[in-house]
Structure 1
Amino acid sequence: MGSLKAIVKHPDELYPMIKLKIASKHAEKQIPPEPHWAFCYSMLLKVSRSFAFVIQQLDVELRNAVCIFYLVLRALDTVEDDTSIPSDVKVPILEAFHRHIYDVKWHFACGTKEYKVLMDELHHVVTAFLELGRGYQEAIEEITKRMGAGMAKFILKEVETVDEYNEYCHYVAGLVGLGLSKLFYASKLENLAPDTLSNSMGLFLQKTNIIRDYLEDINEIPKSRMFWPREIWSKYANTLEDLKHEENSVKAVQCLNDMVTNALLHVEDCLKYMSALREPSIFRFCAIPQIMAIGTLALCYNNITVFRGVVKMRRGLTAKVMDGTKTMADVYGSFFDFSCLLKSKVEKSDPNATKTLSRIEAIQKSCVESGLLNKRRSYMLTSQPRCNSALIIAVFVLLAVIVAFLKKKMP
């Protein structure tokens, strides 16, 4: 019923939602026939449906390399995240993981649900990895080695300072950005040298996830490790867990805003990186997650719900972003719109208001100076229903029937 209300309120999101549903069903039917590749793409759908959608649009050779890159790092991350593994066992595995991806016989049981399946059947991923071109293999091996070493380092220490926060995010996400740039280069579809811009692409996404997932992570049993830096949260609470308690709501929101302001530091680098991309499918692959990140931060900012429940972009708006992101004009437009939403939520009483506004203005300046805002699509403005609600519901039901029919008939 909630989805129906959202569609009545935002009717312009209905058509993109239908298109996204059809595209997702089509992607599910494009799984390769070979057992090891079938496992990889099926697993990709289970561990990251949104990532699977954007990866399906890549050139076949690059698509395979990115799929395996993602699953290898997902497996590495599963080892890091499993709190039941003693540190003296976990650290050597993380440090040697880059060698295990060449060994179809290597096995280590850990994780839960679909991640346990991934680890139990990792030989399928290794088999697929061994079929990739040498340039792709070398890039994946190098990043896996560096990431494993970085994860091992932070297994034994907490994130105390902002510098350590940046370092940790570099190991677990900045290196992903660097690795993807290497894969793009190996495909000969892009000629970008991996640099600080690649790193910022990863940091922006990772910091957004860390902010958004506060409540899920703090409530996890067994207790999950938290990566909000003490240098930030200690200004507002005695312990990080204190932020979820109602009596600390004012300080919790101030801390949240401080974290969002820190994440905004990376936006200008991200815009520069995306503006240099030339291959349309790679551009969309990179741009859609970045727009989702700035949209999520705009929703999280000054929002106590981060400490009470789930904050995320509504499904229709997500579909609209996925369907409407085709050019750099769309990217500048969406970043400008979401930064306007964020700016409208800044309160003068917030201790970081001046710093936050300064970063928002820098982002908006980059968007304006691009000269492309006159071509932008608006994602921030609330769309108003232009037709009778009953008619909208009738159309929604009709399109749902069409989707059901296509699911049965689509080859």
Structure 2
Amino acid sequence: MSVLSMLTLLLTHPNEFRTLVQFWMFHDSKRDISNPKEYATSGWDRESMKKCWELLDKTSRSFSAVIKELDGDLARAICLFYIVLRGLDTIEDDMTIADSIKQPLLRSFHEKTLTPGWTFDGNGPEEKDRIVLVEYDKVVEEVGRLEPGYREVIVDICHKMEIGMADYAHRASSSASSSSTPSPIYLSTIAEYDLYCHYVAGLVGEGLSRIWAASGKEAPYLGEMKELSNSMGLLLQKTNIIRDFREDADQGRFFWPREIWGRSEYIIASGVPLTPSLEKGGRVEDLYQDRTEAGRRRALYVQSGMVLDALRHATDSLDYLRLLRNQTVFNFCAIPAVMAMATLELCFANGEVFERHVKIRKAVAAKLIMNSTNPRDVAYMFRDYARAIHKKSNPADPNFIRISVACAKIEQWAEHQFPSFVHLSSDPSGSGSSSATQTLDPSDARTRIAKLAQERDLQLAKLRASVNGNGVGANGKAGGAGANANAGVDKELVLFFGGAVLLIVVMCLLVVGTVLYFAS
């Protein structure tokens, strides 16, 4: 930010100015990949890998810094994973490439990633990430140097993703060439929407989980958590699709599914006059072209339906984050997830989404980065943003009840896993210990219940100790009555099992005797 913008921020939003200053002063990078001590894992001493790091900085607006802070060789593996998928996405997004060229290129991109010296300079001059493909031979060289476990995951995910991208690109191309005035491309059903998001983001989550597991820094079973990994990816992708609506619309791309924006309940609730076109769902362009009061209401109702669909992945994402044990991996996954929730809250009931690209403020992003360090704080941030969404929800919105339920599920998850009446504080004695102490909020009614449960557990523990002979009798001698009680219990158990065995033997003899009597 420039000096003038910082001064303006100080005068208009002093709290945000303070947050940014705190972030710049105290949130230092935890790893310098250019340090000679890091060469063995970062590969900075090789020109080809140095070029890959430069490509990461040029193409990633938000992930570059957190990727570089990953432990050991994870940073290098994820850097290459990101660039490979960025190269694939650059081909799929470029509308200047003819479908006859794009199709075989997309469907064989995983092979190109293993072909030494391969590059591609056929992107349009306006394609902002074309440099990745122009310099792709450096990426190929470094992918070949990766551990086999990492390389297999990257190539496999690339192969799966390119199939979905190629199918969608072919569909868009066929529609564009079918008439002189092609209709806009959009997804029809929520299932189709989920599948598209799976190809472009869910598979990324799956690949990341498999890389975490392959590194040994996370549990091996994490690589098999495909449903949770997919939900993490879908939460981020659907948030971006909601936020980028107008930007995509200006390019003739509509990722919002017709099953949501074409619902008649939104048209009826908003009071938009019914026309033959609207009776069939209308046009997706109406969401930003119809600027009447009724049209704006309908657009916001549709938008709430999109946010509702994204919120169903929130608790799965929290479940996924709880499985992570490496701090750098947790930060890498938690920061974009929390920012997604912040973005959903910003977009919800916000008509500006249909007019321009909106994004969270830098100070908000800085605060989220500093606070996304553990599952408890992340769960509370999810909860707070869910509360904010619910607070903005309109009772006239057909989604009002469903939004309330979705937000309540996030609140329930956070309260169940991390009860809010339990407060954690670190080292109150000032001894320098890093252990945390637990205190209960005296103003919360649940504190009394928790204390009664603790007292009951303590009494049961004392009772067990006395039964096992570990208590102290009235005469002050260890053992005593406790030992006698223990002996009495053992004697009763022996008599019980002995009697049971005797009864079974007698019954068997009676049965055998009866059978022999009648048989003779």
| TM-score of Structure 1 vs Structure 2, range by shorter chain | 0.7 to 0.9
Matched, 1:358 2:405: yes
Amino acid corresponding to residue 288 of structure 1 in structure 2: I
Using the alignment, how far apart are the partners of 2:346 and 2:257 within structure 1? 21
Q: Which residue of 51, 66, 77 corresponds with 1:39? A: 51
Greater alpha carbon shift after TM alignment, 97-106 vs 109-118? 109-118
- Structure 1 counterpart of 2:206: 178
TM-aligned CA deviation for residue 353 of structure 1: 0.7
Asked if 1:18 corresponds to 2:46, the answer is: no
Return the TM-score normalized by structure 2.
0.68
SS in 2 for 1:337: helix
Partner of 2:349: 302
Is the alpha carbon distance of 1:128 and 1:372 closer, same or farther for their aligned partners in structure 2, counting shifts above 3 Å?
Answer: farther
* Pick aligned residue for 2:102 from 90, 105, 116: 90
Matched, 1:62 2:74: yes
Are the structure 2 counterparts of residues 86 and 360 from structure 1 closer, same or farther at C-alpha, using a change threshold of 3 Å? same
* Aligned-pair CA distance for 1:17: 3.3
Shift of 1:106: 2.0
Shift of 1:21: 7.9
Instruction: Summarize the alignment of residues 151-190 of structure 1 with structure 2, pairs less than 5 Å apart.
Output: 151-157=165-171, 158-190=186-218
**Offset of 1:36 from its aligned partner?**
1.3
* Structure 1: distance between partners of 2:318 and 2:11: 34
State the number of aligned residues: 374
SS in 2 for 1:156: helix
Show structure 1 runs of 5+ residues with no match. 378-411
Cα 1:313/1:323, change in 2 over 3 Å: same
SS in 1 for 2:357: coil
2:320 aligned residue: 273
Determine which structure has greater relative contact order: mean sequence separation of CA pairs < 8 Å that are 6+ residues apart, divided by chain length: 1
Structure (1 or 2) with the larger CA radius of gyration: 2
Distance 1:143 1:371 in 2: 35
Q: Which whole-Å deviations, capped at 9, do the CAs of 1:267-314 have from their partners, x for residues lacking one?
A: 111010100111111011100000000010011000001011232111
Residues 120, 229 of structure 1: CA spacing in aligned structure 2 closer, same or farther, 3 A cutoff? Answer: same
Distance in 1 between residues matched to 2:31 and 2:127, nearest whole Å: 23
Q: CA deviation at 1:326?
A: 1.0
Matches within 5 A, 1:298-377: 298-371=345-418, 373=420, 374=422
Asked if residue 135 in structure 1 is aligned to residue 136 in structure 2, the reply is no
TM-superposed CA distance for 1:28, in Å, is 8.6
Distance in 1 of aligned mates of 2:22 and 2:200: 32
- Matched to 2:210, the amino acid is K
Rounded to whole Å, the distance in 2 between the matches of 1:129 and 1:177 is: 19
TM-score, with length taken from structure 1? 0.86
Percentage of identical aligned residues: 37
Q: Is 1:250 the counterpart of 2:297 in the alignment? A: yes
Pick from 72, 87, 92 the counterpart of residue 84 of structure 2: 72
- Note the C-alpha offset of 1:74: 0.6
How many angstroms apart in 1 are the aligned matches of 2:83 and 2:262? 35
3-state DSSP class of the match of 2:146?
coil
Q: Secondary structure at the match of 1:50?
A: coil
Q: Cα–Cα, structure 1 residues 179 and 303, in superposed 2: closer, same or farther, change >3 Å?
A: same
2:129 matches 1:115: yes
Q: Residues 314 and 268 from structure 1, CA distance in 2 versus in 1: closer, same or farther, beyond 3 angstroms?
A: same
CA contact (8 A) 1:20 1:323 kept: no
Cα 1:19–1:48 change in 2 (3 A) is farther
For residues 307 and 25 of structure 1, the distance between their equivalents in structure 2, rounded to whole angstroms, comes to 40
| Counterparts of 1:24 and 1:46, CA distance in 2 | 21
Q: Deviations over 1:306-348 (max 9, x none)?
A: 0112321110110111112111111111101111111110110
Give 3-state SS (helix, strand or coil) of 1:94's partner.
helix
Counterpart code for 1:182: R
Contact persistence 2:189–2:257 (CA under 8 A)? yes
Give the partner amino acid of 1:4: L
| Structure 1 residue 86: Cα displacement | 1.9
Distance 1:120 1:11, change over 3 A: closer
Query: Is the contact between residue 87 and residue 133 of structure 2 (CA under 8 Å) also seen in structure 1?
Result: yes
Moved more, 307-316 or 209-218: 307-316
SS class of match (2:394): coil
Change in CA separation of 1:268 and 1:62 when aligned onto 2, cut-off 3 Å: same
Q: Does 1:53 align with 2:100?
A: no
* Bigger shift: residues 171-180 or 146-155: 146-155
Which residue matches 1:209? 240
Paired residue type of 1:262: D
| 2:31–2:68 contact (8 Å) kept in structure 1 | no
The one-letter code of the counterpart of 2:19 is E
The answer on whether the counterparts of 1:329 and 1:375 sit within 8 Å (CA) in structure 2 is no
Counterparts in 2 of 1:5 and 1:182: CA distance versus 1, 3 Å = farther
Stretches of structure 2 lacking an aligned partner (at least 5 in a row)? 172-185, 268-280, 426-520
* Contact map agreement 2:245 2:354 (CA 8 A) in 1: yes
- Tell me how far apart the structure 1 counterparts of residues 423 and 370 of structure 2 sit (CA, whole Å): 16
Check conservation: 1:16, 1:323, Cα contact below 8 A: no
